[in-house]
Amino acid sequence: MSTHTIVLGVIGADCHAVGNKILEAFFTRAGYRVVNLGVMVSQDEFIDAAIETGAAAILVSSLYGHGEIDCAGLRDRCLERGLDRILLYVGGNLVVGKADLAATREKFLAMGYDRVFPPSVELDEVAVLLRQDLAAKDEGR
Amino acid sequence: MRILSVDIGSTWTKGALFETCPAEGLRLLSRAHTPTTEHLPEGFSRVEAELVRDAGEGDPPLVVWSSSAQGGLAVAALGLVPDWTLAAARAAALSAGARITSVYSYQLTPRDLTRLNAAPPDILLFSGGTDGGNTAFVSHNARMLRDLTPEAVIVYAGNRDAADEVAQVLGDRPLEIADNVLPDLREPTPEGAREAIRRVFLERIVRGKGLAELVGRTGAQPRPTPLAMFEYVGALGADGRLGRFALLDLGGATCDVYSHGEPTPAERAVASAGLPEPVTKRTVEGDLGMRVSARPAAEAARAWTERLLDERGLAHDGLAAWVAAVQADPARLPADDRERELDGVLAAACVGAAMARHAGRIELVYTHEGPTELRRGKDLRGFDAVVCSGGFLSRGVDVLPAFLVLPFDERGRIVCAPARARILHDREYLLPLLANAWTVAPEAAVRAGLSRLTTP
C-alpha cells in the first residue's frame, strides 16, 4: 500500500462532478491519501493544496473542451511556487471535438504534464503508471 | 440564585446583577458602570460594590467576568499557504477572542522576526501543513522562532507529524502544543487551538495585566470578552428560535461580527472554493469604530457613508466635521437630532462595511452550461435575523439598508450579506453580561438573551 498523497480536481470553470467522484473512490481504494478539491478548481488552488498536504502528484481533469486554455502554464506555476518535483497528470476531453489523440498528448506533454489520458482509459492502467512514476521519483530523491 | 456579571472593556467597566427566575430565565436586578481604571481591579471593585449594595440581603452572588481591557488578546498568526493553514489559524484565533496583530505565511524571514520582536504579540499561533502533509516549512519556521522574544507564547497547531520536532526545537521557551487547526483540507478543527489560547490567556496574560488579584478575590476565572460572546452566540444559535443569525457588536474602536448558521441544501448545491466555513464564525474590524477609530472608519466605509447621507439628504461635510469632533473627543455624545442622525449614519456605515467583510462572495463563472455560481466564504443572504449590540447601535439605528449599499464588490462579485433579515436590538446592551452568566446558568442566560431582543 502506498501512503503518497495525491490531489484531484476538475480544472477551470468545469463543473462535471461524476468522473471526479469515481477517481476519488478509485484512488482511495488503491491506497492513496486523496485530497479531492472537486469541481471548478483554479491552478493556484491545486498548488496551494499540494504544498499544504505535501502531495506527490496532482491529477487534473478537464471535461468541457477548454482544457488547453485552463491547463497551460500549470507546470511553470508549480516551479515558481516551489513545487519542483511534483508529478502532473491530466485527463479527460482535453480539446474540443475529435482531435487526434496523439497530437493532443504531444501538446500537453509539451506543456509539462508527465502523463496525458483520453476520456476513456482503464483506471487500473493509470494506477500502474502512477505507482511506477512515484517510485521513480522517490528513487531520484 | 443571583449572578454578578462584570465586563472590563477598554473604556468602560460594566456590570449587572441577575437573579434566576422561571419566567424570563434571568431577571435584571441592577446594573452599574464606571470608566475602566489604569489598575483594572479598582474599576471592577467600584462596579461590584454598587451592585452588591443594591442587592440587599441574601446569599453572596456568584461572580462571573470577562475582560477585553488593554487591547485584549493580541495574536500573530503563522501558516503555510495563505488560503489554507493561515486562513484556518486566523479563524481559530478570532474564534478564541483574539485581535490579529500580524500574519505570516510560507517561510519566516529574519525580517519577519525583527518585526515580531519589535511589537511582540501575546501569542504566536504557529500552524502549517495538514496532518501527514508538509513538514519542511514547519521545521524551518520552528528554527527561526528560536529567536522570538520569550514574551510571546508560541501555540503550535500545525502538522502533527512535526509536533515532536517543534517541541524539541522550541521546548526551552513558552510553548503549547495543540491539535492541528487544519488536519485535513476539508475539515478545519479550531477547538484545540482555541482551548490552548484560552489556557495561555488565563495562565500568563491575566497575570500580566493585573487581573490575577481579581481571580484570587472572586474565585472566578475570566474569559476574553469576544470568546464569551462567541460561545454565547453558539448557544443562542443552538436554541433555534433565532434561526440563522448574525450579531454585530459595534464599539468605539472596533466592530465585531459573529454569525451562526449552516447552509441550506440549496446553498450547499452551489460550487464552493476555499476552507469550509464554521457554523459559528467571528471576525473583528480594527478600523471600523465610532470614536477612537472614527476617522479610519469614515475613510474605509466611504461608499456607505456617501450613499446613506444622500438617502437622508444630509451634507457630506457635516459628517466630516462630526467625525473630526468625536475623534478628538471620544467621550462626545450627540447633543441634538442632527448629531444623532450623523452618528447613526456613521454607525450604519461601520456595520455595513464590517458585514461586507464578514460575508462571503459569489462569483459568476461562465461554463458550457451557461453562467454558474462559485462561492467563497459564508453566504448570509438567506439569514433570518441580525442582532445589534453595543452602545452605539442600541439607540435603534436601522442597519438593514447598510447591508444593501454594496451588492457587488470591487471585483464584481456578489456580496453575501443578509438581504431580508429581521433586525433585532439588544437595547440595554446586556448581551456581553449575559454571555458571562451563561457559564453558570446556560439555559436561563439563553432564555434571558432571547427575551431581551426587541424589534425597532
The rounded percent of chain A whose pLDDT value lies above 70 is 98
Residue B112's Cβ-side half-sphere holds a number of Cα atoms within 13 Å equal to 17
Rounded CA-CA distance B383/B259 in Å is: 9
Taking the CA of residue A21 and the nearest CA in chain B, the distance in Å comes to: 14
Mean pLDDT of A100-106: 91
Backbone angles phi, psi at B35, to 5 degrees: -60, 140
User: Choosing from A4, A14, A70, A114, which is the catalytic residue?
Assistant: A14
For the question of residue A14 being annotated catalytic, the response is yes
Domain termination site, one of B204, B232, B261: B204
B77 shares a domain with B65: no
Interface test with A, best of B131, B161, B368, B372 (most A CBs within 10 A): B368
Distant-in-sequence, close-in-space partners of B232: CB < 8 Å, separation ≥ 6: B431, B434, B435, B438, B445, B449
Residue B139: burial class (beta carbons within 10 Å; 0-12, 13-18, 19+): middle
Q: Quote the number of domains for chain B.
A: 3
Least CA distance to A3: which residue of chain B? Answer: B132
Q: What is the CATH number of the domain that holds B23?
A: 3.30.420.40
User: Choosing from A16, A48, A66, A133, which is the catalytic residue?
Assistant: A16
pLDDT for B69 equals: 75
Residue with cell 482544457: A67
B177 shares a domain with B90: yes
Least CA distance to B370: which residue of chain A? Answer: A13
Q: Which of residues 135-194 of B touch A (CB under 8 A)?
A: 135, 182, 184-185
Residue B286 domain flag: yes
Residue B229 domain flag: no
Yes or no: say if A92 and B167 are a contact pair by the CB < 8 Å rule: no
Of B375, B380, B373, B382, nearest in space to B359 by CA: B380
B159 shares a domain with B94: yes
pLDDT tier at A75, thresholds 50, 70, 90: very high
B279 shares a domain with B156: no
Give A-chain residues touching B80 at CB under 8 angstroms.
Answer: 51-52
Least CA distance to B183: which residue of chain A? Answer: A53
Mean pLDDT by 10 residues, chain B (456 residues): 93 93 93 91 94 81 90 92 95 96 97 97 96 94 97 97 97 96 94 96 81 90 95 97 97 95 94 91 95 95 95 94 95 92 95 97 82 92 96 83 92 95 93 97 97 87
The residue segments making up the domain with residue B148 are: 73-204
Q: Which of residues 78-97 of B touch A (CB under 8 A)?
A: 80-85
B254 shares a domain with B149: no
pLDDT for B398 equals: 83
pLDDT in tens, A116-140: 999 889 999 999 999 999 999 888 7
What three-state secondary structure class fits B408? strand
Higher local confidence (pLDDT), B454 or A6: A6
Regarding the domain delimited by A5-139, which CATH topology (the fold level of the hierarchy) does it fall under? Answer: Rossmann fold (3.40.50)
Residue B231 domain flag: no
Residue B234 domain flag: no
pLDDT in tens, B99-146: 999 999 999 999 999 999 999 999 999 999 999 899 999 999 999 999
Residue A2 has pLDDT above 60, yes or no: no
The sheet that has B361-367: what strands, in order across it?
Answer: B271-273, B370-376, B361-367, B414-415
Interface test with B, best of A5, A35, A46, A51 (most B CBs within 10 A): A51
pLDDT for B224 equals: 93
- Torsion B211-B214-B219-B221 (CA) sign: negative
pLDDT for A141 equals: 59
Taking the CA of residue B239 and the nearest CA in chain A, the distance in Å comes to: 34
Inter-chain touch A13–B133, beta carbons under 8 Å? no
Residue B336 domain flag: yes
Residue A1 has pLDDT above 50, yes or no: no
Give B-chain residues touching A41 at CB under 8 angstroms.
Answer: 273
Residue B230 domain flag: no
Inter-chain touch B129–A38, beta carbons under 8 Å? no
pLDDT in tens, B144-164: 999 999 999 999 999 999 999
Residue A31 has pLDDT above 80, yes or no: yes
Q: What is the CATH number of the domain that holds B137?
A: 3.40.50.280
B392 touches A at CB < 8 Å: no
pLDDT in tens, B333-387: 999 999 999 999 999 999 999 999 999 999 988 777 778 899 999 999 999 999 9
Q: How many CB atoms are closer than 10 A to CB B65?
A: 27
Give A-chain residues touching B370 at CB under 8 angstroms.
Answer: none
Residue B439 domain flag: yes
Q: Three cell numbers at B70? A: 488593554
Residue B232 domain flag: no
B182 shares a domain with B66: no
Q: How many CB atoms are closer than 10 A to CB B267?
A: 16
pLDDT in tens, A42-59: 999 999 999 999 999 999
Q: How many CB atoms are closer than 10 A to CB B412?
A: 9
B20 shares a domain with B165: no
For the question of residue A66 being annotated catalytic, the response is no
Of B51, B54, B60, nearest in space to B33 by CA: B51
Taking the CA of residue B368 and the nearest CA in chain A, the distance in Å comes to: 7
Domain spans of chain A, in order of start? 5-139
Least CA distance to B371: which residue of chain A? Answer: A13
B367 shares a domain with B302: yes
Rounded CA-CA distance B294/B97 in Å is: 22
B164 shares a domain with B47: no
Taking the CA of residue A55 and the nearest CA in chain B, the distance in Å comes to: 7
